[in-house]
Structure 1
């Protein structure tokens, strides 16, 4: 997901809301043990403004959270506003600096940028109250900067192998492969099957797939060396990952080496019905008219051994509080409700990986089950405010993949693009 580098915004303004108390300064309780009206009414007449991206929250989540919050705090109002990803960087930057939003969804590759600019509230002391003790480490990573918690992980998703069940059957293939070698053998059978144009469609610049393979080998696209970032494309781990990537891509005769999965849209290529498989996200599948859902199967991209699938890039979003919000206490109480088991559980019920592994046992469906299996070995991009400049075109990782696939020397090409990555990541804010 492309992320736009954001501009700096002002330093946080701390606004502390005072909870209403009973006349003796203590919260009273009614016979049922619940807090008195004076405590419950502390947000009476106040409106909390929450921005989420269109398509992020599963059906029913916003209504559930809004109802629970407004019932818990009578007289309060939660106002949700859907936003589009396109151009969202500048829009969020402006809203954070103006204090015109209280709680905002931010992509996990964006969070460090907003935090570094001063736009997000430090919620380190509130982590436990939000359920943070159960958050997976590979999701928490994107919410922390310089040891401080600036957001709560909300949900993640990742790519899996989608395959054409009819072609799979025609090639005499049975159960999903458990190792990369088994997958290569399946691709060979598909290659020899009449009517199969490509065993798998995989363009040369599918860098998210390469990213996952690199994480499987224990490598990183970039890492800190002292106080400087250095590129990791030239590492031994990268070379091993690239060999796997190259072999997979070799089964895609029609996949251009100088294009990514959006040029053309791989769902359109796969939807023609003559391609054995593709690697993609849930919303990258063909339209129902092109290929009915029951004709598509899913499995995580296998690893070198059967005990663990290949690594994946964890795309997803976090929820954060604007540092300039005038309703920070209200926003914190909102997050407690938004992230509780009831509401976070709506994600796995809709086939999306939540921020709580215990809830994800409820995940059903072939795609969601495959994605869940791979999520446990997922990773995110380097957690730095400058990462967006690497993803923006020209993307050095994409150019590296194309150059080596087209015959370029691995070592010298990797060194060239590692230098580009380091320059981008070490730019002064």
Structure 2
């Protein structure tokens, strides 16, 4: 995931002081030193220290060093590192990026280790991003997904309860519009991860395999249905139609100014909004609920953003690196991880999930995780997300009056060209 994921509301910056950012120098072959690249904000310091102490105790002479990396520019940095003779031994990779690194040959093939890694126990929504062409190249580490954050007072004033279906959701937004002076929902026109969930609910996808190539599928009837619903939701919002949730940043630049009854975001955004409102002299009173589905029996699908852990093919001590990976992603240590993040990040297996606090962001997120999904698993997908993102442009065109069919055809041409690039 290309964004800092401190998903537990109120969780502090968790990696501060673990280690400074640095290059991937591993020790000489045989000296049992491991270098782990972890992204800023991904691993709590107490968890890291306890894990590495236990690992070093089990492997005499082993020394583990965590080197914290920043998301900005990380793709280029990892690409370079994987081509060198002494890359970091284990790397954290965004789950939408993993396939792109696997196809280069820079990641170790872990297929024979499925049983030892607990493959069959992993969250089914996380598994696809770890594999390419039937082979396993990483283990899922954590994930997070969006939920609806709402102002309890605005909902109470309008007599609205958290909805369970799309129809109830729209009905509640109408009541908030009629009975309060709050904006029913803040929803920018280019929140494409939200749109993706609606599209998956309709049985569609952003792209599909076509023989030995991929093709965009935004001109499909499913995409039109999803965009029609998104357009209806967006009609209750004053957010710009040609920007995403970060322009302006909804959690710190929009919500703290007040009069926003609800919005869709990640845990770190909810925490950011709470902090910003406190600094501005007000107090947030948020509730949380999963994005509603078409029926009440299950919530709407959501994008499962997160990270995987992989071993470098050129690691100076690949076997030791694999042992660290097994321990770090085991159910025992993933449960400790979930506890350390206060349930705010989803561990790689249901068995490691801790019970989140009632009424918390984490509680709503866990409910949604049952239907988490991922963008197309292909090395070329990273090219699609490059700005200008054709999915964003498609959404803006539709919101400004272009027919979904025509806007979809325009977007699919760009997707077809980008997704099939090596």
Would you say 1:312 and 2:302 are equivalent positions?
A: yes
- State the 1:392 CA deviation: 1.0
Question: Could you tell me how far apart the structure 1 residues matched to 2:220 and 2:283 are?
Answer: 40
Question: Could you tell me how far apart the structure 1 residues matched to 2:332 and 2:408 are?
Answer: 47
- State the 1:166 CA deviation: 2.0
Question: Is the Cα contact below 8 Å between 2:144 and 2:346 reproduced in 1?
Answer: yes
- State the 1:195 CA deviation: 3.0
Local SS of the residue matching 1:56: coil
Equivalent residue number for residue 386 of structure 2: 392
Equivalent residue number for residue 335 of structure 1: 325
- State the 1:403 CA deviation: 0.3
Matches within 5 A, 1:112-151: 112-151=99-138
Q: Give per-residue Cα distances to partners, 1:52-89, cap 9 Å, x unaligned.
A: 00001135221121011011113211100110000001
Question: Could you tell me how far apart the structure 2 residues matched to 1:167 and 1:61 are?
Answer: 39
Local SS of the residue matching 2:332: helix
Q: 2:192 aligns with which of 207, 212, 225?
A: 207
- State the 1:358 CA deviation: 2.0
Local SS of the residue matching 1:82: strand
Question: Could you tell me how far apart the structure 1 residues matched to 2:167 and 2:177 are?
Answer: 15
Would you say 1:258 and 2:242 are equivalent positions?
A: yes
Question: Could you tell me how far apart the structure 2 residues matched to 1:168 and 1:121 are?
Answer: 51
Equivalent residue number for residue 60 of structure 2: 74
Question: Could you tell me how far apart the structure 2 residues matched to 1:147 and 1:194 are?
Answer: 53
Matches within 5 A, 1:7-26: none
Equivalent residue number for residue 15 of structure 2: none
Equivalent residue number for residue 364 of structure 1: 357
Question: Is the Cα contact below 8 Å between 2:201 and 2:294 reproduced in 1?
Answer: no
Q: Give per-residue Cα distances to partners, 1:360-404, cap 9 Å, x unaligned.
A: 253335211111111111111111111111111010000000001
Question: Is the Cα contact below 8 Å between 1:210 and 1:245 reproduced in 2?
Answer: yes
1:183–1:112: structure 2 CA closer, same or farther, 3 Å change rule?
same
Question: Is the Cα contact below 8 Å between 1:2 and 1:391 reproduced in 2?
Answer: no
| CA RMSD after TM alignment | 1.7
**TM-score, normalised with respect to structure 1:** 0.87
- State the 1:95 CA deviation: 1.5
- State the 1:426 CA deviation: 1.4
Question: Could you tell me how far apart the structure 1 residues matched to 2:46 and 2:132 are?
Answer: 32
Local SS of the residue matching 2:179: coil
Equivalent residue number for residue 322 of structure 1: 312
Would you say 1:92 and 2:78 are equivalent positions?
A: yes
Q: 2:69 aligns with which of 77, 83, 86?
A: 83
Question: Could you tell me how far apart the structure 1 residues matched to 2:235 and 2:415 are?
Answer: 26
Local SS of the residue matching 1:155: strand
Question: Could you tell me how far apart the structure 2 residues matched to 1:420 and 1:289 are?
Answer: 38
Q: Specify the structure having the higher radius of gyration (Cα).
A: 1
Q: 1:295 aligns with which of 256, 281, 285?
A: 285
Question: Is the Cα contact below 8 Å between 1:68 and 1:337 reproduced in 2?
Answer: no
Q: Mark the runs of 5 or more structure 2 residues left unpaired by the alignment.
A: 4-28
Question: Could you tell me how far apart the structure 2 residues matched to 1:358 and 1:293 are?
Answer: 35
**TM-score, normalised with respect to structure 2:** 0.88
Question: Could you tell me how far apart the structure 1 residues matched to 2:138 and 2:48 are?
Answer: 19
- State the 1:294 CA deviation: 5.7
Question: Could you tell me how far apart the structure 1 residues matched to 2:180 and 2:120 are?
Answer: 53
Local SS of the residue matching 1:80: strand
Equivalent residue number for residue 8 of structure 1: none
Equivalent residue number for residue 269 of structure 1: 254
Question: Could you tell me how far apart the structure 1 residues matched to 2:404 and 2:337 are?
Answer: 42
- State the 1:308 CA deviation: 0.8
Q: 1:178 aligns with which of 164, 170, 176?
A: 164
